[in-house]
Structure 1
């Protein structure tokens, strides 16, 4: 996902039936040492001007993109790519 892809994906609405599961997964990842980069991304977005909801929604969009890619390609979840994509999320909706 590039920055342009992210801007496009972030504009799309995450289905209401999927969002709670994505948010739960993100919160679990933020608590895990293995995925500490998720917490760091959340902190960066929050301190960069995003509300908690904006930050979580942006991160959920990235997680959903990664899950969809994994399912479409039948490949394992690419944790390194996920980390990279979280790092390039713009700091606020005004960026």
Structure 2
């Protein structure tokens, strides 16, 4: 099976305010975008399992012109809180790289 790292030229995560994180999946071309942007493996349940977020709040926004998908989810704890381990959410994408796409 193909993994996210195999079909994306760039994957990043970042703050989307103090209460949200955004992950951007830049596919390596229109063919892979068409094949995988709506993949069932990228469901809200994946973000519940990986990041402990409420799947009902996960937002998925396809951006066809850029061959990318933007996925936003609420942070488990607010940015800068006592339990914070990644202040800018710049390392959150790593958990997604080995996710297999069907």
- TM > 0.5 between the two? no
Q: Name which one, 1 or 2, has greater alpha-carbon Rg.
A: 2
Name the structure with the higher strand share: 2
